[in-house]
Amino acid sequence: MITDNLREIRQAIQDSCAFAHRNPEDVTLIAVTKTVDSEAARVLVDSGITHLAENRVDKLLKKQYDLRDKTHLKWHLIGNLQRRKVKSIINEIDFFHALDSLSLAAEIDKRALKTISCFVEVNISGEETKHGISPEEIESFISQLSSFTNIKIVGLMTMAPHGANEQELHDIFSRLKILQENVRQRTLAHAPCTELSMGMSNDFPIAIEEGSTFIRIGTALFKDA
Ligand SMILES: *Cc1c(COP(=O)(O)O)cnc(C)c1O
């Protein structure tokens, strides 16, 4: 049952926060609904979930339409976004988690009718198949975004490689935390960078220990749905 899964995840968040001496209110649970239909998403919303994520533009718009009676929801686009699709989605979402190029930033800036809260995606592990800016390039990449007045960098995001062990996960997430702190301390007007989007079904307790403020959970919510 989705509601049982949700209860377990909430408990696990509480436990990880207690272990790390963190306030659970500082960790936002984003439900990733990409593998389920709108009715399953509605069950979560009725159980108190307010943050929903999709990785595809068309699926996000569909869920938004189906749940249009729920006006308080926050919508996250977590997948990579093609420039030609920016126009159709960017003003419909609250957060974009996968900013990883200047050309995409330029397109977002051009199409935005409001300030768009973005996470810069970082490829910590250096896997060639992964999207994201390399850690060495983060500082200069973020500096170059300052001319885009419609873009606000709220934080950094990463995806840990599949099959990483616990020590590797701690290492990856703590490195993202250090990068985020470095940007935050520059107190850039366009990049407050106070947030960390890291942690998925298999690794969120470790991500919370390392300072995550937004965890993106799919499978663990819907494993038997
Ligand atoms: C699918 C997805 C998630 C959720 O992953 P689970 O392992 O199912 O929890 C999180 N982040 C991104 C970017 C995703 O594409």
Token pair belonging to 163: 């099959």
- Tell me the residue range of the domain where 165 lies: 2-222
In the predicted model, is pLDDT for residue 129 greater than 80?
no
pTM exceeds 0.75: yes
3-class state of residue 155 by DSSP: strand
How many domains are contained in the chain? 1
For residues 53 and 33, the answer to whether their CB atoms sit within 8 Å is yes
Distance between CA atoms of 6 and 215, rounded to whole angstroms?
13
Distance between CA atoms of 29 and 106, rounded to whole angstroms?
29
Token pair belonging to 141: 């990449």
Site residues for ligand 1, CB cut-off 6 Å: 32, 34, 55, 78-79, 159, 200-202, 216-220
Report the CATH number that the domain containing residue 161 is assigned in CATH: 3.20.20.10
Q: How far is the CA of 216 from the centre of ligand 1 (A)?
A: 6
Work out the mean pLDDT of the chain and round it to a whole number. Answer: 97
Token pair belonging to 58: 């068309």
For residues 9 and 217, the answer to whether their CB atoms sit within 8 Å is yes
Q: How far is the CA of 27 from the centre of ligand 1 (A)?
A: 16
Distance between CA atoms of 23 and 14, rounded to whole angstroms?
8
| DSSP β-bridge partners for residue 155 | 119, 195
In the predicted model, is pLDDT for residue 162 greater than 80?
yes
3-class state of residue 160 by DSSP: coil
| SS3 labels along 77-120 | ECCCCCHHHHHHHCCCCCEEEEECCHHHHHHHHHHCCCCEEEEE
What average pLDDT score do residues 6-16 get? Answer: 98
Q: How far is the CA of 217 from the centre of ligand 1 (A)?
A: 6
pLDDT bucket at 225, cuts 50 / 70 / 90? low
Pocket test for ligand 1, best of 2, 6, 214, 216 (most atoms within 8 A of CB): 216
Closest CA to 96 of 141, 160, 36, 109: 109
Distance between CA atoms of 90 and 108, rounded to whole angstroms?
7
Strands (E), 3-157: 28-32, 51-54, 74-77, 95-99, 116-121, 151-157
pLDDT in tens, 81-92: 999 999 999 999
